[in-house]
Structure 1
Amino acid sequence: MNLRIIGLWMLCYLALTAAMYFDLGEQEEKCLIEDIPGDMLVTGYFLMEHWDGKNNFNSPHLGLTITVRDPNHDIIMKKRYGKFGKFTFTSHASGTHWLCMQSNSTKFSVFADARLRIHFDVQMGEHSIDPSAERHKHTVQNIEYSLEHLRDQIIYITRQQDFQREREETFRQISEETNGKVLWWAVVQTSILLSVGFWQIKRLKDFLIAKKLV
């Protein structure tokens, strides 16, 4: 009974935070791509239910396997969870991260050809919004928690700005290298055209001299 209450509570939280949702089939894997700054704590919440909204399956074998890969495609985290839960990891490098989810379901745990709906939300920062904070409304603890969350959001924005500056610097270097290569290619093309032109003029002159036309 407690698990059903927690699951319903998690569903309400994910709905209120405008979390995304998508469908997932048996043993199917889907990945989300997130640009994450380095040394950033990332927290994710998820909840599984039938696509038609009937959350009445109680198979202990039903759950999600979550795998997180860094920009070098190295696995940061891989863990199996139940039908709902929370996971955290810390990014070691700035760049694109892959958050992959694979269903543990089989035809023995869900109906054949059934689709699962995955509610999913990702937050960044040491003090992400925790659903349990609703229990402390109108209390000093809630105010302190909100201030900590605000401070972490400022840190997150600062790191995002640093990350964007790093990307801009990388793109600028790539653009300069590309422009340099284009310039040299234009010089080579011009040299080839001039060489071919002079060669054709010389050949034409030699032909006219040989025919005694000049």
Structure 2
Amino acid sequence: MRGWMRGRMRGWALALLLGALRASGTELTFELPDSDKQCFHQELDRGLKFTLDYQVITGGHYDVDCYIEDPNGRTIYRETKKQYDSFPHHTELTGIYTFCFSNEFSTFSHKTVYFNLQVGDEPPILPDMGTRVTALTQMESACVTIHEALNAVIDSQTHYRLREAQDRSRAEDLNGRVSYWSVGETVILFVVSVGQVMLLKSFFTEKRPISSAADT
């Protein structure tokens, strides 16, 4: 009984650590002013796989220009006015790759951009998983299933966080417009009310004729 409980506890501890066994990457949310461009640089080895995911969270029509250049300056990816996209690629050269986001086409819209750069393949859960010839044990199969489920949960949480931030930005923008419209209507209503009162008052004001000077 104790051995079964100890094995079960080790299995759960291993499952909790599986979420950390993901491909190395960079996740960042940054501000992109109007008529501006932001570039990020990453040194990569040849034959390495990377995946770039990005999405505009706030600002304008929620679009941005994005392009990627290899170490020789050759453009391997370019998209204009995209709200979100995903680009997987295997590097052909060793060197510094440039990832740029441009808001130069906008003259007044400030943007908030999220991007996630995943580099390399995910390491195997078990050390000999790629070379072993025997079938996985029941605990190992359960750990693999839990690991895949945790990865799906992480991806879903990231997606819903971005959607929540985008929806909150739209709601705040709509709330601001409604507030300004309400203030404008209040001012107009006040001016019209005062004008009507003044107009009605002028109808009931008795105008006395000016008496002429007495003849001498």
Normalising to structure 1: TM-score of the pair? 0.41
Structure number with greater Rg is 2
Normalising to structure 2: TM-score of the pair? 0.41
